Amino acid sequence: MRISVIGAGYVGLVTGACLAELGHVVHCTDNDSAKIAVLESGKLPIYEPGLDEIVAKNRRSGRLSFSADPATAVAQGDVIFICVGTPPLPNGDADLSSIDRVAQMIAAEAKSDKLVVEKSTVPAQTGQQLKRVLEIYGRGRGIRFHVASNPEFLREGTAVGDFLHPDRIVVGVDDETAEKQLREIYRPLLDQNFACPLHNGSCPHSNQPTWLVTTINSAELIKHASNSFLAIKISYANMVSDLAEMLGADIEQVMHGVGLDPRIGPHFFKPGLGFGGFCLPKDLQAFVRLAERHGVDFSMLREAERINHQRIESFVEKLRHSLWVLKGKKIGLLGLAFKANTDDIRFAPSIELIKRLHNEGVRVSAFDPQASEKISGQFPDLNCTADAYESANGADALLIVTEWPEFRDLDWKRIHQIMARPLVLDGRNLLSAEEMRALGFEYQSVGRPRVAQAMPTTSA
């Protein structure tokens, strides 16, 4: 099929590249001409493992192209995926102005019938408004617009694999034509008859995804309900972790035991600095606002949000308790992205943490394998180092903020030697408490018993 993708951010770029990988001819457009220029130069504006390979491969084959001309994209595509941003407004509502502008543009530029697919995360009933805008601005032109909701379930850091090997594909439609077109688009995934670029052509452990057909309203609600439930699980784990610390229990053992119940499951029971990124925080707020407008009490989600906001304050208090005075201290930060394997810093816990530390008069030295350049745009005076050892050198404390696997493999004996005080606060429970103690560190994590610095033995 000939498919156009409007919006070349995280969702749009992964969607476009992966649809091309499935054999479709895809044209991606974005109103950010600088982003398109980067893509046309053969580079990527974001870091996502595996994405650069499939973008380059499908550009060479001619199945994937980019331009800053949305009219061309509308004209070329029989199916148009809307992947524009829906950032939060000051009151928490999702800003749907970009979707409205795109809908008007599609209605004005279309020369033939189109299937218009919502891929952006939007509140329920947005699809009905989308249909209305297309009908109003496209009236009198003899063109029929079909509308569908096809929410994305991509995790940054594993987005390519999530797209090519999904557990479910949700399509919200109001007519049979839209479902048939979407089924044809995703047929290679449903039949598992494509060469997986992530596994040298084959993926023996991949299962056929569930094909779930719903109404448009239900599909939109599935996405928001899914993200909000994940946020609740994270906040629940953080709430219990505070009690575990007080009682001398190990939160990882506790959550493992709880997660063994098949009715609950182990995923997202991970305590730490709270959830961030562009999805969970804004989707949680938008879901609450949607419920409030319809008179439904979503105070449970408000509480999950409150717990999440408290995580940085709790982390800074741990640091203050250990160091007594923060002003003038040098603190090293390991990790700036909101999670590992991405350069995304949107709503990252590191941002609020840096602000708090700066307000306390702390000298911050930070390192991230991918996100340092982006964080510098928000904090021009932040000392972003070339590696983790430079951040640790002379530091009074070292804070693990993002769970990059390479941090686990650092030469921690060397770090112990170069720090002014061997104090590590592990906000992601990345390291082994016993191994850190054996190396002589003061080590604190989240929801686990505190490990004091090992004292040298003396003879009488």
* pLDDT computed for residue 170 by the predictor: 98
Lowest-pLDDT choice from 30-34, 350-354, 384-388:
30-34
Q: Which of 214, 229, 254 is the last residue of a domain?
A: 214
Domain count, the chain: 2
- Terminal CA-CA length for the chain: 82
Residue 204: pLDDT band by 50, 70, 90 thresholds? low
157 and 285 in a common domain: no
Whether 205 shows a pLDDT value over 60: the answer reads no
Query: Using CA of residue 335, residue 93, residue 300, residue 356, what is the dihedral sign?
Result: positive
Tell me how far apart the alpha carbons of residues 112 and 227 are, in angstroms, rounded to a whole number. Answer: 36
State which amino acid sits at residue 119: K
279 has catalytic annotation: yes
Q: Measuring CA to CA, which residue among 290, 297, 298, 301 is closest to residue 125?
A: 290
CATH of the domain at 386: 3.40.50.720
CB half-sphere exposure, 192, CA atoms < 13 A: 13
Q: Which of 195, 214, 233 is the last residue of a domain?
A: 214
Tell me how far apart the alpha carbons of residues 231 and 233 are, in angstroms, rounded to a whole number. Answer: 5
339 and 290 in a common domain: yes
DSSP 289-304: HHHHHTT---HHHHHH
Whether 457 shows a pLDDT value over 50: the answer reads no
| Helix, strand or coil, per DSSP, at residue 166 | coil
Q: DSSP character for 364?
A: E
Domain that holds residue 427: 218-460
Q: DSSP character for 451?
A: B
Tell me how far apart the alpha carbons of residues 309 and 291 are, in angstroms, rounded to a whole number. Answer: 21
Chain length of the chain: 460
Tell me how far apart the alpha carbons of residues 24 and 21 are, in angstroms, rounded to a whole number. Answer: 7
pLDDT tens digits for 215-239? 999 999 999 999 999 999 999 999 9
Q: Measuring CA to CA, which residue among 54, 64, 56 is closest to residue 26?
A: 64
231 and 181 in a common domain: no
Whether 460 shows a pLDDT value over 50: the answer reads no
Residue 456: pLDDT band by 50, 70, 90 thresholds? very low
Average pLDDT over residues 7-22: 96
299 and 162 in a common domain: no
Q: Alpha carbon of 124 to those of 101, 150, 225: distances in Å? A: 19, 12, 10
* In the chain, % of residues over pLDDT 70: 96
Q: Which of 155, 187, 214 is the last residue of a domain?
A: 214
Whether 307 shows a pLDDT value over 50: the answer reads yes
207 and 225 in a common domain: no
Q: Measuring CA to CA, which residue among 220, 212, 215, 216 is closest to residue 290?
A: 220
* pLDDT computed for residue 164 by the predictor: 95
Average pLDDT over residues 77-95: 93
Q: Measuring CA to CA, which residue among 264, 263, 284, 265 is closest to residue 275?
A: 284
pLDDT tens digits for 310-347? 999 999 999 999 999 999 999 999 999 999 999 999 99
pLDDT tens digits for 355-388? 999 999 999 999 999 999 999 989 999 999 999 9
E strand spans, 202-351? 210-214, 330-334
224 and 187 in a common domain: no
Q: Measuring CA to CA, which residue among 334, 314, 315, 349 is closest to residue 403?
A: 334
Scanning 144-196, the segments in alpha helix (DSSP H) are: 159-164, 176-185, 187-191
Q: Are strands 383-384 and 363-367 parallel, antiparallel or unpaired?
A: parallel
Tell me how far apart the alpha carbons of residues 408 and 406 are, in angstroms, rounded to a whole number. Answer: 5
288 and 145 in a common domain: no
226 and 147 in a common domain: no
Residue 399's φ and ψ, nearest 5 degrees, are -110, 125
User: Residues 18, 83, 279, 384: which is the catalytic one?
Assistant: 279
125 and 264 in a common domain: no
231 and 204 in a common domain: no
State which amino acid sits at residue 167: D
* In the chain, % of residues over pLDDT 90: 88
Residue 141: pLDDT band by 50, 70, 90 thresholds? confident
CB of 20 within 8 A of CB of 39?
A: no
Q: Alpha carbon of 417 to those of 76, 396, 413, 420: distances in Å? A: 61, 12, 7, 8
161 and 30 in a common domain: yes
pLDDT tens digits for 175-197? 999 999 999 999 999 998 777 88
378 and 313 in a common domain: yes
> Which H or E element spans position 253?
helix 251-259
CB of 381 within 8 A of CB of 347?
A: no
Q: Measuring CA to CA, which residue among 340, 343, 337, 374 is closest to residue 47?
A: 343
